Amino acid sequence: MPQRHSKNNNDLAFFTYDEKRKLGYGTQKERLGRDSIKPFDACCLCLKPFIDPLCCQKGHVFCKECILECLLAQKKDIQRKLVAHAAQHKQEKKEEEEKLMLQKARELDAFDQQNHGAVPQYSDKNYNRDKNGFHGANSVKATSYEEEALRTMKAFWLPSATPEAPVKVEAPSASTICPEGKEKLKMKTLFPIYFTEDTNERKSSKSLDKIFICPSCKVTLTNTLSLVALSSCGHVFCKKCADKFMAVDKVCLVCNKGCKERNLVCLEKGGTGFAGHGDHLEAKDFKHLGSGSGLGLVRPAMKT
């Protein structure tokens, strides 16, 4: 009888290599599809086709309304944190003054007791007053007992015995940041950009989606092309035309407005916080077999 092949030998007490591979053992690779990548003509915040696009100096494109709302929300949050920080600083200063006053009062009491220890503190010998405002010896004993019980009590779930952790508010940064690139961003650094629409192609296809082209070479703009915007006038070209003409002639081909090399801003390719972009469009997961279940536990693959 011929020997059974390892792929067909399924009566072993352990998994063979082929069985592990069928269960998905090891590093699984999958290239991100078109649905996982943001189009170049979509806003980085709302992920919809942009309206009145504005671009930052790092090449991130936003809708005008979206980025204005984002910056305004950041300013309000900074103002709220500044108010909270000022209130906390004022409270700390007040507590420090109270500590100094209590320390001075203790020093005065100690000095008074040292020099007038034989003289009673009050004219009425039966009048006893503790620090909490209770009168009489019984109230003093009860109050001290309660304080001692609260200090040694382990019932942290009681409101009276719950420890309080002071929340310290750090001084916030006064500058707004770009929601996509995480660098400092001001409203005056944003500039509008203008795409050249292919009207002939749109009329022939009769679709609602706008088709943009490079105004120089008339190539349809897609995510596969690297795009360059001029911060001086806002017109968008493909990178080949920008390097070939604008970088050499220092003039925009559409409006003939002068530009310098620093005005050439490369637009970031489509990508969001949920998917990568650029040259790394491959997702990896490492799956190892669970104990006794035959199912795998998935975690991100480690870089080697």
pLDDT at 183 over 70: yes
Total count of residues recorded for the chain: 304
Instruction: Indicate whether this model's pTM tops 0.75.
Output: no
Name the domain count of the chain.
1
pLDDT at 84 over 80: yes
Residue 250 and residue 259 in contact, taking contact as beta carbons nearer than 8 Å: yes
Task: Let me know if residue 106 belongs to a domain.
Answer: yes
Q: Give the tens place of pLDDT for each residue, 207-266.
A: 557 889 999 888 998 888 889 999 989 999 999 999 888 888 888 888 888 888 888 999
Q: How far is CA 240 from CA 82, 123, 220, in A?
A: 47, 99, 13
Q: What is the Cα–Cα distance from 48 to 64, expressed in whole angstroms? A: 12
Task: Let me know if residue 24 belongs to a domain.
Answer: no
pLDDT at 124 over 60: no
Q: What is the Cα–Cα distance from 61 to 180, expressed in whole angstroms? A: 9
Residue-number span of the structural domain to which 186 is assigned: 55-115+171-192
Return the closest-CA partner of residue 178 out of 56, 87, 66: 56
Residue 230 and residue 192 in contact, taking contact as beta carbons nearer than 8 Å: no
